[in-house]
Amino acid sequence: MTPQDSPEHWHTLAPDEALQAVAATADGLSTAEVQRRLAASGPNRLPEPPRTSAFMRFLLQFHNILIYVLLCASLVTALLGHWVDTVVILIVVLANAVIGYLQEGKAEQALEAIREMLSPQAAVLRDGARQSVAADTLVPGDIVLLEAGDKVPADLRLLQAHGLRAQEAILTGESVPVEKSVAAVDAEAPLGDRLGMLFSGTLVAAGQGRGVVVATGAQTQVGRISGLLSTVQQRSTPLVTQMAVFSRWLTLVILAVCVLLMAYGWLLAGFAFDEIFLIMVGFAVSVIPEGLPAVLTITLAIGVRAMARRNAIVRRLPAIETIGSVSVICTDKTGTLTRNEMLVATALTGAQTLQVEGDGYAPQGRLSADGIPVDAANQALLQELAMAAALCNDAVLQHAEGVWTVQGDPMEGALLAFAGKCGRTPATLQTPRTGLIPFDSRLRFMATRHAIGAKAVVFLKGAPERVLAMCHLQRTEQGEAPLLREDWLARADAIASAGQRVLALATCTLADGRAELTAAELDGRLCLLGLVGMIDPPRAEAVTAVASCHEAGIRVKMITGDHALTAAAIARQIGLQNPARVLTGAELDAMDDAALAAAVLDCDVFARTSPENKLRLVTALQSHGLSVAMTGDGVNDAPALKRADAGIAMGRKGSAAAREAADLVLADDNFASIAAAVREGRTVYDNIRKLISWEIPTNAGEGITIVVAILFGMSIPVTPVQILWVNLVTTVALGLTLAFEPTEENTMRRPPRLRGESLIGPALAWQIGFVSLLFLVGVYGIYAVAIERGQSIELARTLAVNTLVVLEIFNLLFIRKLYGSSLTWRSLKGTPVLWGAIVVVVLAQGALTYLPFMQQVFGTAAVPLDEALMVLGIGVLMFVILEVEKQIRLRWRA
């Protein structure tokens, strides 16, 4: 076996076998051998991936068919000498590209974030002596020395372990440090159960150890995740996909109509070729929504600000509406649904079972028995249990800026918080420590000796079955009594089945407090004080957020590296729909893709999962046409975050790799912010649909008037320059107001839309067609009436263009409510931005109509008051017709 072979099976080898496999000895390698191996295996770094240049990323912002159409329109206007039109269109296109470039292109930085996790220095044995070397010079066969606080520099097979515990949450999702040993384990053991291994990028929480390097760089577990990340393809967001389809169809329709009309006008209607060509340019200018890309981008940017107020930081603009479309949220447990803090939830004494409440590591909280509050100060058994928890402890609680944190082992921090809730702290006890047996995975307990008065008192904590085996007595309210071992084991199993980690605490008094404390003198002399059950508690707000997601038709699934019992317990507490069924990583590995796709819909809890499992689960859900959001905070979440339709990382406790791979980052690490982000995402999508259903009829109405003019041999009611004015000035000003529209009342009571759902479905297509017809009738009607009355063509066209703008305004007032009445006071009151924009547009139209220099540029004429009132009446009439049609349509659907 070569040093980098079979990276999945080093945990199955005994220490001596591992040394033999890498051709090394316990004394380390020589400098010459290190140089030889370094040349063969390469530095302990992740390989640089190919990168897209900044210039190329900027050019890709223009890779959109609608942008191509706009660029062609700018070229045509330039050839015709309409330089102002050309400049305006190019500014719109360039602004859209710059905004997209600045917001996108950061996901690949996840690889850099993972590289930074490698330890810069490592303590090794080389040439028979201890040395400190750069971590990137480590090679397979190096002997690495580790102690508490060190970051593991490479994947190691342990040779020695003394009370060694490692914090592996970034890889496995498990909240508490893992006890390490040198024993080999089964080949099928999941990552979190490979006790003889230390993994690159994890932290040594306690103890000391020595291990041989078995994998470096890309061959480590972190390297494998990096490899997964580099091969994961991000899926296009629903909005991007739908806009691409919409743009293609719009382009094809425009080109087809232009060709047909040119052929008809030139060959059948008698138009000169240059005349019909210029008319077709006017048609193209009228139907192309020049301002749509810019307004869409600005709408998304406004959504970015709204989400930031909800503590959701958006890294890619299209991700805003994607989060609103998700139908499944796959969430990590540790640090996402839970606080990533251990908390004593249950305390068992010889007299009663107590429930413990509190907030994180704060030493304040409520104790109760069957819902009845308990005064800890009057409970002698509880006081002694709390004393043991406080004194047999190496952690320290710290309070800064209103937040309690733990320095040391999270479980010991939870014990200190529990003792504080009982009124016991190390500072108030004033009992000097005179002896110590540090925690060791072989002993499975920790013990401390203290001078209390003239006595030498020992307090011990450890695994229940180990501590119970060392006890012969138990503490009761009447004093000491024979130990009821089976009863205590049954009580321990009961709280363990609820997903809690159980510790037993015991005590004894020694005659001699000066000799070294040994395990032998404690065996059989201990008196059991009680048990405590600890759990990484769910966030209180997560329960509400999960319920809100369910109401919105979103299924929530938990994917964690933690144990199945713990995962099921948390699933029940936060209210997942099917917490009873749990699939483990081993079971997922045994399934092919078809079996996994069938199982993934009904199961909501997945435990002991690997990064590959998480990635497969996301892909399996997407195979059913579901839009999937993945939340997480660990390195192990990064590939699935990148693959998901919406990757959501934790900002505070999340790893840099997870943050860089995600589309959204929660600044407050709060699952409840996801429900708020879904609400904002749906609002953004609704506003985009409002924008499209408002702007397209306007452009279609303009285009149809030109078509009618050609087909019936009439003059054009609105000139190309007037159309460009409407499209780039009034349309953009009014369209922007829809970006500021508030959330509609039923937003979080609607089911999520299907991923393949068309941006313009049958209902919206009907509405666009109906409104376009009303625009045609209104614009051409007033133009025809003016011509019939013998008014000048300039006045007739001025009436037509003002009618077009008035119809836009009333259509805007109507379209603000897609799912409710537009005739309510709340709807008509609108927003300050709405009425501000209407005032600006009215003033702009007044300038267009009455200012002499504007009349010369745009070919307009002053409109008399009675004619202006007629224009206003047409707008009101269209509003009434549209509202009646909407009420009939909504009632027919109901």
Instruction: Return the active site residues.
Output: 332
Q: In this structure, are strands 455-462 and 445-452 parallel, antiparallel, or unpaired?
A: antiparallel
Nearest in space to 417 (alpha carbons), one of 465, 367, 453, 461? 367
Tell me the pairing of strands 501-510 and 328-331. unpaired
Q: Cα–Cα distance between 179 and 161 in angstroms, integer?
A: 9
Q: How far apart are the C-alpha atoms of 225 and 704, rounded to whole Å?
A: 56
Q: What is the C-alpha separation between 277 and 262, in angstroms, rounded?
A: 7
Token pair recorded at residue 236 = 């296009």
For helices 762-788 and 672-711, what crossing angle results, to 10°? 40
DSSP type of residue 402: T
Task: Residue 685: name the closest of 630, 628, 731, 744 by CA.
Answer: 744
Nearest to 247 by CA among 684, 760, 738, 761: 760
The CA distance from 797 to 871, in Å, is: 12
Tokens 């144990």 belong to 563
The residues, ordered by sequence, that sit 6+ positions from 359 with a Cβ below 8 Å of its Cβ are: 365
**Nearest to 52, CA basis, from 107, 115, 10, 131:** 107
Distance between CA atoms of residues 683 and 303, nearest Å: 9
For residue 456, the cross-strand partners are 451, 510
Three-class DSSP category at 532: strand
Total residue length of the chain: 894
Q: What is the DSSP letter of 779?
A: H
Return phi, psi of residue 397, to 5°: -90, 140
Beta strand pairing status for 555-559 and 605-607?
A: parallel
For residue 34, give both structure tokens.
């290190």
Is 283:76 a contact under the CB 8 Å cutoff?
A: no
